[in-house]
Amino acid sequence: MGALIRQFYPSIIASGLQSFCRKMITPEPLMTKIESSDIHNKRPLTQSASNARNKKPKLKKYKTKKVDPTSPRGVLEFEIDELLGKIGLDREQIRNDVSAILNDVPKVNGPIAKAYHRIVNNVKILQSTSNGDGMALIDNPVEIEKKQLALIPFGLVGDVVNINVYKTHPYHVETDLLDVIEESPSRKDELITCKYFGKCSGCQFQFLSYNEQLELKRNTITNAYKYFAPRLVAEKVVQKVGLTFGSPLELGYRTKLTPHFDVPRRRTLESKPPLGFGQKGKQKWRKETLDCGGHSSILDIEECPIGTAVVNMGMRNERQKFEINYKNYKRGATILLRENTTLLDNSCSILEQLKDDSSKDMDGNISFLEVEDIRTGAKLAKTCVTNTRQVVREYVDGYTFRFSAGEFFQNNNAILPLVTKYVRDNLQIPNSEPGAPNYLVDAYCGSGLFSICSSKGVGKVIGVEISADSVSFAETNAKNNGVENCHFIVGKAEKLFESIDMPCDRTSVILDPPRKGCDELFLKQLAEYYPARIVYISCNVHSQARDVEYFIKETERGSRYKIESLRGFDFFPQTHHVESVCVMSRV
């Protein structure tokens, strides 16, 4: 038998000849002997079924996901350690047995998962996170010698609250805020203007005075450098963070909103799904809002008070269309609402100058508002755009910018003139001789906002961007605004400064990267270029702090720079977000 197999089936040899032959010659019985207890109208058990019955269930394991340390989840780990240090606890004393919860291990009074997920009363909030949540300590319900660290949305330091614990992580638990028993001195609920506040995930600070919001954001910047640039802080390279620049508009400032909706899989829509923004858990502390927006994961939101007036007009228009057309959708979608600005020509009627593809009401009329620029007195018309590929216009600091509606552009135009002036003032090279030429490099230049707004008083500006589309818009914007000293190039990430021929001693550099910040390769190139001055603008102060420390401490020439100033700009009032500007100059 073995010889025949070797001759005709050589492949079998590789997979185990002896085992194969044994099975061919002496096949295993199909059934095991029937036990006496199984003879009463029961099917005989196979060997595999018997083994399966006696086999222990495989336990689930908790898998820790990798997170960027500068992301909200990564920053939370630093904030947890800071609170533990203040109260004299270590990580082991707040560690949760997540594996036991996953496998629903029994305990005296029932499953562990049920014990962890519970209501806890009279909890005092001890600290705030950069994400706008409160932090508190509660008793561990299973390991009585331990504590748990609870994150509490819409909780303020000094509040005493009732909470519902609904999700457990290794070193913290997520909760819903049920009641505020004792109010923090900072809490001013009478300031709340939105009926969805306390449920919607968009805003966190509507119950704080604006000065307190600005101070919280200054603390966020201070903590970011403490966490991600500890060597600079220890060596006092980072001086005190300056006061946060406030927004001229605290409400009605946001020029872009993106409401969305979900369509359940394999289900025909019989009723309109909610269209709006994500719900922040299942908060119940504001009793008057319990029925506002519904109870699904997406709230049905009719109006957003931080959106501009014309964006809210667009929201009303699109919601009315959605009421009629929702059954046409087979899957969920996001609706773009982007403000568009037209610089009006007094010789033509307004309607003649508006694009026909702007958002219209149910009668087919374009929704618009006529406004006047407070700085220049120019007459402007505001419309709302919903097509991501449509080219829109914004009017900033006397300049008009064109870009695709779906692309990135700053979403608070009220504060932009303050930011562009601050950047422009800090690009000036100190101790310059009268008449000495100045130059500017704008890395991550996008559609040319900072390049064009900083072009006055500079001999030449070079904007560098890896996106060819953005460079095309930047060139068009410079031409349309009559700016002749700006030039834009598509740069390669590994050789970003290769085409820069301006003398570094007379050149300043603007950095305005995306949230993830700059990579090490770019920072090494920046240090090698060795500009006289650097202005780093960031929408994520944590990645900014990381980059600044790497630049000063790890690059060859970075140690020759000092931090001159560090300040925040409040691009998003009522929320936890803050934009930071760090100015560095050669020593």
Rounded CA-CA distance 248/308 in Å is: 13
SS3 label, residue 136 = strand
- DSSP, res 402: E
Residue 339, C-beta contacts closer than 8 angstroms, at least 6 positions apart: 255, 256, 308, 310, 311, 382, 383, 384, 385, 392, 394, 413
Give the annotated binding-site residues for S-adenosyl-L-methionine: 410, 444, 465, 512
DSSP assignment of 92-116 equals GGG---HHHHHTT-EETTEEHHHHH
Q: Which of 143, 135, 196 is nearest to 161 (CA)?
A: 135
For the chain, give the number of residues: 587
Pick the catalytic residue from 384, 518, 539, 582: 539
Q: Is 194 assigned a catalytic role?
A: no
Question: What is the sign of the dihedral through the CA atoms of 478, 484, 485 and 488?
Answer: positive
Rounded CA-CA distance 240/233 in Å is: 10
Rounded CA-CA distance 376/480 in Å is: 18
Q: Which of 369, 371, 387 is nearest to 379 (CA)?
A: 371
Pair 1, 22: CB distance under 8 Å: no
Give the annotated binding-site residues: 410, 444, 465, 512
Helices 541-554 and 210-228, interaxial angle, to 10°? 40
CA dist 5 to 30, 39, 176, 281, 483, Å?
25, 42, 69, 66, 84
Which positions are catalytic? Answer: 539
